[in-house]
Amino acid sequence: MKIGIEAQRIFRKKKHGMDVVALELIRNLQLIDTENEYVLFIKPDDDYLAIKETANFKIVELTAGFYPFWEQIALPIAAKKAGCQILHCTSNTAPVITSIPTLVTLHDIIYMESSYLKILEGSGTNYQKFGNAYRRMFVPWVIKKSRKIITVSHFEKARIGQFFRMEGDPRLETVYNGVSEHFKPVTDQIELHRVKEEYHLPGHFFFFLGNTDPKKNTKGTLKAFSDFLKQTGSDLHLVMLDYDHYELEKLLDEIGDAELINRIILTGYIVNTDLPAIYCQCEAFLYPSLRESFGIPMLEAMACGAPVITSNTSSMPEVAGDAAILVDPFNSEEITSAMVRVITDKDLKAGLISKGFIQATKFTWKAMARHVLEIYREIGAENKLT
């Protein structure tokens, strides 16, 4: 079979969740599948070392700029020209007009939920708002047309089934994400020191991957950290990546603690391969999101030996198992209490670390790629493709 994979953003330097999933899928398919042919449709960018062509993996660059045009017009034309017999779209949406059997990875439907949209009204960037509007317009059509719909947790599968009234639909299937192999404890002191110097890490800190997306609960986490410092008198800092300084000051004004800026380190974008050395040095990893469909960073932190504080909502209990402290993300007092517990209870902390190592081994990208390959073969058999 000739399989097309939409991987528009895998060559950009600042990769995020969906980009990482697509990249790891392709890398692992290259390891396990020499039988089928693949065509990777990407947008030109800076990170050309991300993926290399092989005998059965070819890269096609599509330069159409505006995302809807790239996906709805340029992609299906290019896939048909390349002779693709299946088209796998990896990032929530897909072309709605194409004769090629289509598979879509629907990571989540957060942008369809009224509770999330209400939160988004007063926050989120214009780019995020446009992206959510685009998905709300096209995802219902994509679901109707797709031969198979992959999502990343049983929680999200249930949400999609309920929302689109497709409970029990055999087209809808859960395929778990994984943890990249470089996420493991770092013992090289030179490497630990290099990362500490490069990102100006303090001696003791919580690590938080907050961003401007309302679901990440940045405001609630900052409030919890502020209260933690007031309750404990601790000298800990909060390390955050890639967050705008001005936006941070606005949030601190809203929680009534402008001075907290002095206890926060903004690292800027962190190279993915540097993350393990940061996870290894943090006192705990904070992931109290309001809503997630999976939560790869939780597992990355666990694989590196960081205790994890996460939410008791959506998919997070499913992915974290018993290897994290679960809190109500809408209650900053619970987040604060968890911070205090993980710092003061050494047995609890050691238990979380031990359980985290075990939990992280349950999710691998190779297993994910094998599962997706089975789905390709299933679609191929249904359509008598060879």
Taking only the tens place, the pLDDT of each residue in 257-288 is 999 999 999 998 898 899 999 999 999 999 99
- 106-119 pLDDT, tens digit each: 999 988 886 655 55
Place of tokens 């980009």: 19
Distance of CA 255 to the CA centre of its chain: 27
Same fold, 2-178+364-382 and 189-360: yes
| CATH fold label, 2-178+364-382 | Rossmann fold (3.40.50)
What pLDDT does residue 115 have?
A: 64
Compute the chain's Rg from CA coordinates.
21
pLDDT computed for residue 166 by the predictor: 94
What three-state secondary structure class fits 38? strand
Q: What is the mean pLDDT of residues 30-45?
A: 94
Task: For residue 104, give the H/E element and its range.
Answer: strand 102-105
What integer best gives the mean pLDDT of the chain?
92
Query: What pLDDT, in 10s, does the model give residues 218-253?
Result: 999 999 999 999 999 999 999 998 788 888 999 999
Mean pLDDT along residues 49-59? 90
Query: Does residue 330 carry a pLDDT above 70?
Result: yes
pLDDT given for residue 364 in this prediction: 97
Beta bridge partners of 148: 103
pLDDT of residue 134: 87
- Across the range 45-66, mean pLDDT stands at 86
Return d(Cα 355, Cα 324) in angstroms, integer: 8
- 125: confidence class by pLDDT, cuts 50, 70, 90: low
Provide the pLDDT confidence category of residue 122 given band limits of 50, 70 and 90. low
Residue 321 has pLDDT above 80, yes or no: yes
**Quick one: pLDDT at residue 124?**
59
Among 257, 247, 270, residue whose Cα is nearest residue 336: 257
Q: Which helix (H) or strand (E) holds 317?
A: helix 316-320
pLDDT digits (tens, 9 = 90+) for 165-215: 999 999 999 999 999 999 999 999 999 999 999 999 999 999 998 777 888
Q: Which of 123-132, 137-146, 290-299 has the lowest mean pLDDT?
A: 123-132
Instruction: Name the pLDDT band for 369 (thresholds 50, 70, 90).
Output: very high
What's the pTM?
0.92
Residue scoring higher pLDDT (45 or 120): 45
> Where residue 314 falls among pLDDT bands split at 50, 70, 90?
very high
Give the domain ranges of the chain: 2-178+364-382, 189-360
User: Considering the chain, what percentage of its residues have pLDDT values greater than 90?
Assistant: 79
CA 14 to chain centre: 13
Domain boundaries 189-360, corresponding CATH code:
3.40.50.2000
Tokens 């396990």 correspond to what residue? Answer: 32
Distances in whole angstroms, Cα of residue 106 to Cα of each of 98, 133, 153, 288, 299: 18, 15, 10, 22, 20
According to the model, what pLDDT value does residue 215 have? Answer: 87
- Over residues 61-73, mean pLDDT: 86
Three-state secondary structure string covering 352-371:
HHHHHHHHHCCCEHHHHHHH
* Confidence label for 58 from pLDDT (cuts 50, 70 and 90): very high
pLDDT at residue 84 tops 80: yes
pLDDT of residue 212: 76
120 pLDDT more than 60: no
Q: Taking 80 as the threshold, does the pLDDT of residue 49 lie above it?
A: no
Instruction: Give the pLDDT of residue 121.
Output: 54
Find residue 42's DSSP bridge partners.
Answer: 61
Pair 164, 143: CB distance under 8 Å: yes
